[in-house]
Amino acid sequence: MENKYANSVDFFNAKPKTTLGDASNLILAAFELRTPENVGALIRLAGNLGIPKILFIQSETVFKAKKIARVAHSSLKLVDYSFCKPEDFSALIPEDFEMVAVETSDKASNIYKTNLPDKCVLLVGNERFGIAQKCLDKCFKTVYIPLVGKTLSMNVSHAAAIAAFEWGRQHLGLELL
| Domain extent listing, the chain | 20-176
List, for residues 80-96, the tens digit of each pLDDT value.
Answer: 999 999 999 999 999 99
H or E element, residue 162? helix 156-171
- What pLDDT score was predicted for residue 100? 98
Residue 129 has pLDDT above 90, yes or no: yes
Q: For the CA atoms of 113, 132, 129, 73, what is the dihedral angle to 10 degrees?
A: 80
Find how far residue 147's CA is from the centre of its chain: 18
Residue 41 has pLDDT above 80, yes or no: yes
DSSP letter (8 states) at residue 163: H
Which residues have a Cβ under 8 Å from the Cβ of 46 and sit 6 or more positions away?
28, 52, 53, 54, 75, 78, 79, 81, 164
How does the average pLDDT of the chain come out, rounded? 92
d(CA 11, CA 93): 35
CATH topology of domain 20-176: Alpha/beta knot (3.40.1280)
